[in-house]
Chains A and B, each alone.
Chain A
Amino acid sequence: MTPDRAVSLIQERFGREAAGEGRYLIVEELPLERWEEFFTFARDTLGCRFFSFLTAVDWKEQGLEVVCRVENLEAGVGILAKTKLGPDAQCPSLTGIYRGADWMERECYDMFGVRFSGHPDLRRILLSQDWEGYPLRKDYAVDTPHAPYR
């Protein structure tokens, strides 16, 4: 597997341009319903077995976007893929493909309120279970008062 080959394979199968080079390929706006399919393909066909991170970005009116990065360590191919979520903030879980997605998706749920369907244990991970709101959303003010400490 080479970066060029990865670019053409992604183009062929998903019709998406992978911008960037080598370890920093970026695939924008994957359709949400092909999110799992893409990562199964990345793992099995592109050999990206290393799970780097998963997070989200709040684009205000345009909604939330989930970002995930995986890498083929030997061949030097890294892929950062993105998908836009609908207003319900639902996203298919990648836990069945990468076991490392477990904690990352929990953190993403904790901070952005993204609901990963198919996640076996979707609880808050860094904040307490009774926390209100999702701190990394842009409409969550930095000085939001804390609930009284119990």
Chain B
Amino acid sequence: MADTEARKVIELGYGGNERLVMNMGPQHPSAHGVFRMILTLEGETIAAIDSVIGYLHRCHEKLGETLTYAQYPSIASKTDYVAAMTSELTYVLAAEKIGKIEVPKRAQHLRVLVAELQRIASHCLWLGTWCLDLGGALGGGATVFLYCFREREMILDLFEALTGARLLYGFHQVGGTRYDLPEGWAKRCRDTVGQIDQRIDEYESMLETNTAFLWRAQGVGVISKELAQEVGIAGPLLRGSGVDFDIRRNDPYSSYQDFDFEIPVETAGDCYARYRVRMQEFRESIKIVRQVLDGLPEGPISSRPGLKSVGQVRIPKGEAYARVEGPRGEVGCYLIADGGPKPYRMKWRGASFSNLSILPHIVPGHKVADVVAIMGSVDPVFGEVDR
């Protein structure tokens, strides 16, 4: 009888000696999208994990081969929809690299400006949802979530005033940017980052004095320096594991060398270290935003203004790998051009894809509740995992 069999599995599994297979997702609230984990449990401890991804797969790489260099950037924003500015920028950088297209200084600084605002917005979303996942440990859970959304909303308002869109912007184009700052925008931006700067202190004092938060974050999901590099995780995860590497400093693009900022590094490699890295990155991003606003050069915002037809962007034969330091790490675009109006091949290195592939290496040995904490600290965006 099937019922008896099922009962046996449940009873024995509960006893802790036999293994029990448990499904988590794809619609689990902590999955931050659609992600299924098949957990093999021994009691409450995880013995093995199989990840099922691809629910949001749209085959962006094939799509990129069918759209021109002028059309694709606005679609690129749909890979990582939480940090749309980053993915757009990666694609246009790759195309500009092959075509050796100059970008005016003002456009480069505007790119830095929106990229850093985007990082703040993305980290707000991460902090809010992660704290929501940790739930009861934070005395109700939704507090930090709502605070973070309040701040993220302010940045989305800025983006709306700049581009007309709140989530997917179409701001970057080959040769520069599409929009310049509207009247009064710079002052509004300065006020916004000033407010966020103060509120980061509030979050920190709320969280770091909370013992339950510390218990759930410290010593959980430790990634060693060696493992981090071998699996190719990037961004705050890599720096949380003690690797001092940031593309903005080590391999600057779009005039990042003009600005003065620190690269936060933590050595513990646990969820708390990743949290610390991101919290410090908030402040560094605010610092960069202020520097951009202080010294924004005058001049054109694109070296190819007034493009009327999408066929006008021609990229010569060649290949390039361009990458940017997104909120989740190294977002890369490997582009092969054959001289036509569309790329011959486009490969996305999604930061979330590589970051998520760390799970099978670190989750076994933890309790079920820790999976949620680890997932949140990895900060995957499934649009970018599945592309």
Contacts and interface: CB of A to CB of B under 8 A. Distances in A.
B61 A136 contact: yes
Contacts of B230: 49-51, 98-100
Interface string B209-231: 00000000000000000110111
Interface stretch (B27-35, B75-83, B128-136, B347-355): B347-355
Given A99-B231, A100-B354, A103-B353, A52 B332 contact: yes
A23 to B, nearest CB: 6
Contact of A53 (B226, B227, B347): B347
B231 A73 contact: no
B59 interface: yes
Interface in B338-387: 344-345, 347, 349, 353-354, 357, 361, 386-387
Interface string A77-117: 00010000000000000000011101100010001000000
B232 interface: yes
Interface in A102-148: 102-103, 107, 111, 125-128, 135-136, 140, 142
Contacts of A49: 226, 229-230
Nearest to B322: A24
A124 B57 CA distance: 13
B54 A126 contact: yes
Contacts of A51: 229-232
A76 interface: yes
B345 A52 contact: no
Interface string B294-337: 00000000000000000000000000110000000010101010
B345 A57 contact: yes
A135 B62 contact: yes
A111 B347 CA distance: 11
Given A111-B61, A136-B62, A50 B386 contact: no
B332 A125 contact: no
Nearest to A107: B353
Given A125-B53, A125-B54, A127-B57, A99 B361 contact: yes
A73 B243 contact: yes
A100 B232 contact: yes
Interface in B172-215: none
Contacts of B386: 126
Interface string A32-73: 000000000000000001111101011000000001010001
Contact of A50 (B62, B229, B357): B229
Contacts of B354: 53, 100, 103
B232 A52 contact: yes
Contact of B357 (A24, A103, A128, A140): A103
Contacts of B336: 57
Interface residues of B, number: 33
Nearest to B320: A24
Nearest to B226: A49
Nearest to B319: A26
Contact of B227 (A99, A126, A142): A99
Give the residue among A57, A102, A125, A126 with the most B Cβ atoms within 10 A. Answer: A126
Contacts of B54: 125-128
B45 interface: no
Contacts of A102: 357
Interface string B62-89: 1000100000000000000000000000
Contact of A100 (B57, B320, B321, B357): B357
A98 B231 CA distance: 7
Given A51-B229, A57-B336, A142 B347 contact: no
Given A135-B59, A142-B66, A53 B349 contact: yes
A52 B59 CA distance: 20
Contacts of A128: 54
Given A53-B332, A53-B334, A127-B54, A142 B62 contact: yes
Nearest to B59: A135
B149 interface: no
A64 to B, nearest CB: 11
B251 interface: yes
B178 to A, nearest CB: 27
B355 to A, nearest CB: 11
25 contacts: A49-B229, A50-B229, A51-B230, A51-B232, A53-B232, A53-B332, A53-B354, A55-B334, A69-B321, A73-B250, A98-B230, A98-B232, A99-B230, A99-B361, A100-B232, A102-B357, A125-B53, A126-B53, A126-B57, A126-B387, A127-B54, A127-B57, A135-B59, A136-B61, A142-B62
Interface of A: 23-24, 49-53, 55, 57-58, 67, 69, 73-74, 76, 80, 98-100, 102-103, 107, 111, 125-128, 135-136, 140, 142
Nearest first, the 10 closest Cβ-Cβ pairs linking A and B are: A126-B54, A51-B232, A100-B232, A100-B231, A103-B357, A53-B349, A49-B229, A73-B245, A126-B57, A55-B347
